[in-house]
């Protein structure tokens, strides 16, 4: 989805600094960008490395002169196992990428964003950030932290030039399984997989919501439906997801 966000922004004439730990992924984005690569700059960076993230601001400003917005999209899921069976190493990796990586980028760029005539922070949470999913509890906790971080920032930055938006994607066809070091355990032939939103459509919804200065963006019919259901009956919604997630939990 990050790649599609980059391509969508480039198509609108934006200058984009793309950040990824995987250089090959960045180079693939360059190929897809075609003749718009003049507005694209790549930074191979581990966002869990605070010092490396803090060094990005000067590099991006040196290339483009200023930064008017950041989109925190990087994230991984956990193995489909219960908290009791997760190692601390895995838990810390999920939290470091999903939450601390987002926090480091915000803390690094926010002082500069506050100097701009208009700026925007967009953080990608998840449907799992407001709705519990057994077997993805730590992932959900990391995304719930992103949700509250973003909503808190929205309140703190009210009255400033910096707008803040939180995004809740439902099922989106991305590389998050492989990027998380997991085999793809959901068959593309299933009815559910066929209904998953494509990454380019998800990216378009996110950028459109950003342009409209939306407080929150629900991406996909599943996220929209479960948001409503969870507000009406949290226990029922949680139980419904628990039944659907049961088949994905790894046996001990």
CB 173 within 8 A of CB 187: no
pLDDT digits (tens, 9 = 90+) for 223-238: 999 999 999 999 999 9
Residue identified by tokens 């605070």 is 50
What's the pLDDT at 188? 43
pLDDT band per the 50, 70, 90 thresholds, residue 155: very high
Task: Specify the pairing of strand 197-198 against strand 69-72.
Answer: unpaired
Report the alpha-carbon distance of residue 206 to residue 218 in Å, rounded. Answer: 9
pLDDT class of 194 with cuts at 50, 70, 90: very low
Give the residue from 175, 178, 171, 179 showing the smallest Cα distance to 221.
171
Helix (H, G, I), strand (E, B) or coil at 67: coil
Facing residues of 153 across strands?
A: none
Span 44-55, average pLDDT: 98
pTM of the model: 0.89
**CB-based contacts of 214: which residues, under 8 Å, 6+ apart?**
165
**Domain annotation for the chain: domains and CATH numbers:** 2-248 (3.40.50.720)
Contact (Cβ atoms closer than 8 angstroms) between residue 106 and residue 99: no
| Residue of 88, 100, 139, 236 marked catalytic | 139
CA-closest candidate to residue 215, choices 151, 170, 159: 151
**Cβ neighbours, 10 Å, residue 47:** 22
- Catalytic site includes residue 139: yes
Q: Which residues pair with 119 in a beta bridge?
A: 162
- Of 72-76, 105-109, 181-185, where does mean pLDDT reach its minimum? 181-185
């Amino acid at each position: 989805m990050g790649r599609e966000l980059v391509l969508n922004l480039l198509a609108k004439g934006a200058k984009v600094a793309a950040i990824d730990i995987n250089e090959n992924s960045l180079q693939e984005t360059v190929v897809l960008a075609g003749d718009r690569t003049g507005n694209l700059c790549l930074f191979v960076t581990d966002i869990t490395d605070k010092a490396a993230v803090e060094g990005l601001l000067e590099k991006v400003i040196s290339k483009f002169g200023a930064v008017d917005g950041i989109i925190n999209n990087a994230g991984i899921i956990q193995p489909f196992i219960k908290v009791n069976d997760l190692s601390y190493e895995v838990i810390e990796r999920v939290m470091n990428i999903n939450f601390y990586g987002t926090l480091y980028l915000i803390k690094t760029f926010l002082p500069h964003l506050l100097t701009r005539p208009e700026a925007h922070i967009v953080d990608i949470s998840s449907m799992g950030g407001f709705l519990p999913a057994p077997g993805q509890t730590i992932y959900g906790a990391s995304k719930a932290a992103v949700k509250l971080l973003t909503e808190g920032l929205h309140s703190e930055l009210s009255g400033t030039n910096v707008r803040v938006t939180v995004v809740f994607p439902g099922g989106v066809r991305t590389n998050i399984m492989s990027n998380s070091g997991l085999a793809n355990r959901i068959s593309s032939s299933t009815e559910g997989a066929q209904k998953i939103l494509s990454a380019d459509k998800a990216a378009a919804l996110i950028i459109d919501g950003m342009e409209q200065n939306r407080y929150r963006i629900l991406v996909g019919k599943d996220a929209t439906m479960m948001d409503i259901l969870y507000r009406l009956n949290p226990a029922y919604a949680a139980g419904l997801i628990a039944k659907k997630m049961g088949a994905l939990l790894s046996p001990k």
